[in-house]
Amino acid sequence: MNGSNKKAMHSLLASRLTQLHIPSAAAEDPSLDFEFSDFFGPSAAPLSPSSASALPQVIHHRSHSFVGPSPRFTLSKSLPTFDRDDSSSDEPGDEAVGSVWDGGGAAVEDDLAQKLGPGDFEIMRVIGKGAFGKVFQVRMKGKSGGGDGIFAMKVMRKDTIIKNNHVDYMRAERDILTKVVHPFIVQLQYSFQTKSKLYLILDFINGGHLFYHLYRQGIFSEDQARVYTAEIVSAVSHLHKNGIVHRDLKPENILMDADGHVMLTDFGLAKEIDESSRSNSLCGTTEYMSPEILQSKGHNKNADWWSVGILLYEMLTGKPPFVHANRKKLQEKIINEKLKLPPRLTSEAHSLLKGLLQKDPLNRLGSGPRGAEEIKSHKWFGAINWKKIEERELKPKFKPDVSGQDCTENFDKCWTAMPLDDSPAPTPTDGEHFHGYTYVAPNPWLSSE
């Protein structure tokens, strides 16, 4: 090829490269790698003592969480105890290690930690994959726990967690899940570790994400959205009473069980904050971030009520109230732009949305001395019997299409078709980061029988 032909070819390639388009739906190709936040929920890097003024990385994209619970309150059988003579391992020489937690947050040494491991679970399908590891649908071997022993097993690589400085976030998620028990909040059943990996075992839910159903239906009616919002308010209220702020409420982090009830999951950004404290972390998903988070003014539980308002707006209209392709302009809209309410919504819905989406957190509905009761007593919820809501007696009219306890039709086929392997990982040299990670949920039925 002569010089002129080479120049022509280079010019052609250069012109075509400028038109190169990388699809946003990268998940269509299962051979591609994905960020941990795409499937386990976003995690910002924690502040170091030497740079207290530095803010963690902002999570800008919307993410999906593929694990969640089915309500332990509707199960009839107690969870099994374990009696194993051999240590479980996920690869040669990688025995289950750690100490057991008593359910109240205190670590207690117990030989049960040596009897529970990945070998106790049969891997059925992959239902998620991220930079830290994978999420599997699993069945407990020879045991009959909830849903015929079907669980979601979230597997995280220690070396990657340490490398990315996410140890505190992984521990916080696990710790918070051991402290909350509520009919509309994910229930952690077990956690354990091997020398190279962390494992969370959660009840498997097969109804799919609220996000999935919302975008299939386009919008929800006010009656349909009212039940979902009431269940979300109940869950968030419970978190706040326990000093926990979720900080990443959105349709992708809310799952639906086979009966149509919503379940709050993904506590990767949750934080324990007392009444007098504020957090300055810039974290979450931009469309759902409150103005005070974006302005780094310090935030508390009031930021969750803003997100509930965004959630409700999206359920009723099909999209969040503030949207823009440019992140900076999106943030400016959230901070400065006046809320626009569709005229087709009822005056009661307008009133609730205005109350929840107050820019000033001190004026926001739910920020007063009565807290969540301000929201529960709003006239839009006038037809809601809160006692029946919290006892799961108010049945949603819509039920997802589910064929059985182990149904994964509501999960993307790019994951469920992947090979079933919990691949080896190197063992970190420092194992002290994860001391006391092991947990077995207390049995709620023994005390009630």
Active site residues: 248
Strand 254-256, strand 244-245: pairing: unpaired
Q: Which residue has the tokens 């440019």?
A: 326
Question: 75's torsion region: left (phi>0), alpha (psi -120 to 50) or beta?
Answer: beta
CA 143 from centre of chain: 27
Pairing of strands 244-245, 197-203: unpaired
Query: Residue positions in the annotated binding site?
Result: 154
Handedness of CA 404, 402, 410, 234 (dihedral sign): negative
Which residues, 6 or more positions from 445, have their beta carbon under 8 angstroms from its beta carbon? 75, 77, 78
- Residue ranges for the binding site for ATP? 154
First to last CA, the chain: 85
Q: Which two tokens stand for residue 140?
A: 């407990």
DSSP 116: -
Cα–Cα distance measured from residue 307 to residue 213, given in angstroms and rounded to the nearest whole number: 19
In a 3-state reduction of DSSP, which class is residue 255?
strand
Instruction: Report the C-alpha gap between 41 and 135 in whole angstroms.
Output: 12
Query: What's the CA gap between 128 and 156, in Å, rounded?
Result: 12
Structure tokens at 225: 């959205």
Amino acid present at 174: R
Distance between CA 252 and CA 59 in Å, rounded? 14
Asked if 118 and 421 touch (Cβ cutoff 8 Å), the reply is no
b (16+ CB within 10 A) / e for 95-110: ebbbebbeeeeeeeee
Decide: 177 and 186 in contact? Cβ < 8 Å. yes
Please name which of 340, 5, 372 lies closest in space to residue 182, comparing C-alpha atoms: 372
